[in-house]
Amino acid sequence: MIETSPIDKIVRSVLHHPRVEALGLTVIKGVLLNLNQLLREQRIAGGWAAAAIVTVTSRDCFEIVQRVRDEMRSAYVPVIDPARVLNEDHVILSLQNVVSAHQHGYNKMNRVDSELLLVMAGVNNFEVAVKALAPKDKGDVVLVAFSANKDEALESVRLFEKYADSRARELAFSNSGPRLSTLVEMYGIPKDSLAELSEEELAKALAERGAIFYAKYR
């Protein structure tokens, strides 16, 4: 089993608390997750989040992100290298950590999308995080959309689809051995624990290690 520090155990107890899970922390695949009830219950502002895979072929994905930002100014639309993402749970749990940090005032960056990169990379240097997580200019990207407004979150995905000339797909992968090895190495999880963890358990472990980011970089 994964060795856990005292801080790991505290974070795990929060994420695995029955009340948190009952409030909808488990994501229904391929649909928007309504974070509002969960976050309000924890007394932090809520919102709507979506995560999907989009194939970019016609233009630079960062150009598309900028166009979406220009039209949806209150939405956050980071893009991530698919090789650095386990599944939808991994993204949404990490995003929940980031939103909580912003609401409680221990965030490191002013923007939610920038902070998500720090948390998922596990580093307190934005340039290093971008280098670790940035997707290629073209090809598959993981698109994350987050907004306090459901319509804006949805419209951000639709706009990205429009400018990429591609349909968003469910965020799911065939998690092969080499892919998993890369992920656990990035997050500092012992490789020998892979055989003992289901994909759901591994997603939670990755998100927990992301939460430890805030204890590590106080």
Look up residue 2 and give its two tokens: 């994964």
> Which position has the higher pLDDT, 115 or 27?
115
Q: What is residue 33's predicted lDDT score, i.e. its pLDDT?
A: 53
Confidence check: pLDDT of 186 > 90 = no
Q: Are 132 and 21 in contact (CB under 8 A)?
A: no
Which residue type is seen at 121? Answer: A
pLDDT class for 32, splitting at 50, 70, 90? low
The CATH number linked to 73 is 3.30.2380.10
- Calculate the average pLDDT of the chain: 78
Name the band, by pLDDT with cuts 50, 70 and 90, for residue 29. very low
- Residue 52 in this model has a pLDDT that exceeds 60: yes
Instruction: Give the pLDDT confidence score for residue 17 in this predicted structure.
Output: 39
Nearest to residue 145, comparing CAs of 96, 64, 98, 75? 75
Convert the pLDDT of each residue in 129-147 to its tens digit: 999 999 987 899 999 999 8
The stretch 75-88 carries a mean pLDDT of 91
In sequence order, the β-bridge partners of residue 144 are 51
Cα(189)–Cα(201) distance, rounded to whole angstroms? 12
- Average pLDDT score over residue span 138-163: 90
Residue 101: inside a domain: yes
Kindly tell me if the per-residue pLDDT of 202 is higher than 80: yes
**Structural domain of 50:** 6-216
The total number of structural domains in the chain stands at 1
What mean pLDDT comes out for the span 182-196? 80
Q: What CA–CA distance (Å, rounded) separates 82 from 159?
A: 20
The mean pLDDT of 182-208, rounded to a whole number, is 81
- State how far the Cα of 168 lies from the Cα of 51, in Å rounded to an integer: 9
112-121 and 126-133 are packed helices; what angle lies between their axes, rounded to 10 degrees? 70
pLDDT score recorded for residue 129: 93
pLDDT of residue 99: 87
Q: How many CB atoms lie within 10 A of CB 19?
A: 10
Q: Return the higher-pLDDT residue of 25 and 197.
A: 197
Residue 45: C-alpha distances to residues 18, 51, 88, 101, 168 (Å) = 21, 19, 21, 11, 27
1 in any annotated domain: no
Say if 125 falls within a structural domain: yes
Most confident range (mean pLDDT) of 54-63, 107-116, 205-214 is: 107-116
pLDDT of residue 136: 83
Cβ atoms within 10 A of the Cβ of 13, count? Answer: 10
DSSP the chain: -----HHHHHHHHHHT-HHHIIIIISPPTTS-EE-HHHHHHTTS---EEEEEEEEE-SS-HHHHHHHHHHH-TT-B--EE-GGG---HHHHHHHHHHHHHHHHHT--SSSSHHHHHHHHHHT-S-HHHHHHHHPPPSSEEEEEEEEESSHHHHHHHHHHHHHHHTS--EE------HHHHHHHHHHHT--GGGGGG--HHHHHHHHHHHHHHHHHHT-
Nearest CA-CA partner of 86 in 208, 12, 216, 182: 182
In this prediction, residues 165-189 reach a mean pLDDT of 81
Q: Is the pLDDT of residue 24 over 50?
A: no
Percent of the chain with pLDDT over 70: 78
| Percent of the chain's residues with pLDDT above 90 | 30
